[in-house]
Amino acid sequence: MCGRFTQLSASLPELDVIVSEDSDAERGARTRYNGAPSQAFWVIRRNPETGRYHSDSLIWGLIPHWVKEPDGGRRPINAKSETVSRLPSFRAAYAKRRCIVPIANFFEWRKTTPPKQPYAIAMKDGSPFGLAGIWENWKHPVTENYIRSFCILTCPANEMIAAIHDRMPVILPPDAYDRWLSDLEPDPGDLLVPYPADVMRMWPISTRVNAPRNDDPSILDPLDD
């Protein structure tokens, strides 16, 4: 799964992105070293009319457009790549509303004797990378305000991450960004595979990451041996 990540930028070097202005400063996306569900993050989407790529502020935790509960109901943060094209909560968004979440690293926890040991996971060269996501635009049944939300697709872990967990987020290779964001192909399922482990690294970090209020660069400091 993917339950926490670091986002330092609204864009990716390989994409020419227009960063949209968010009118809600309190809910708007910002730099996060310890980003958590229900917070706002920059998400890259393609405008179907202009073909341009925009980075907009969306809430992490998908609310399908057909949900009637006043609180938005269950808000999944992840969708399994194996079932995303079939489950009612995800299939429409997967076919027509795909997005990319630009991040610097994500976190995972190894199941050991309590407390669980957290790890930071990133690219060896320190470059940002894009996670495969889907998004929705939900209209609140009472206020009629719209809430844009997203979730991240997951797949089986590669051989490096499998040492601590059985799942990982779907990381898109840069040459697949355009294809993923296009709505011409309803099921690019061949992209939903583990990213190569040989270009990635992971390191143990402090359990301070367990609390989202601890949101500063020191979260990423490696533990001493």
The dihedral through the CA atoms of 83, 130, 75, 167 has a sign that is: positive
208 and 216 Cβ atoms separated by less than 8 Å = no
d(CA 17, CA 12): 8
Do the Cβ atoms of 152 and 171 come closer than 8 Å? no
Q: What is the Cα–Cα distance from 120 to 107, expressed in whole angstroms?
A: 5
Is 2 labeled as catalytic in the residue annotation? Answer: yes
Between the CA of residue 115 and those of 21, 160, 225, what are the distances in Å? 40, 21, 17
**Residue 81 vs residues 53, 145, 168, 186: alpha-carbon distances, Å:** 24, 30, 11, 14
> What are the backbone angles phi and psi of residue 158, rounded to the nearest 5°?
-75, 180
Buried b or exposed e, range 81-95, using 16+ CB within 10 angstroms: beebbeeebbbebbe
Catalytic residue among 99, 108, 151, 155: 108
Respond yes or no: is residue 144 known to be catalytic: no
Catalytic site positions: 2, 108
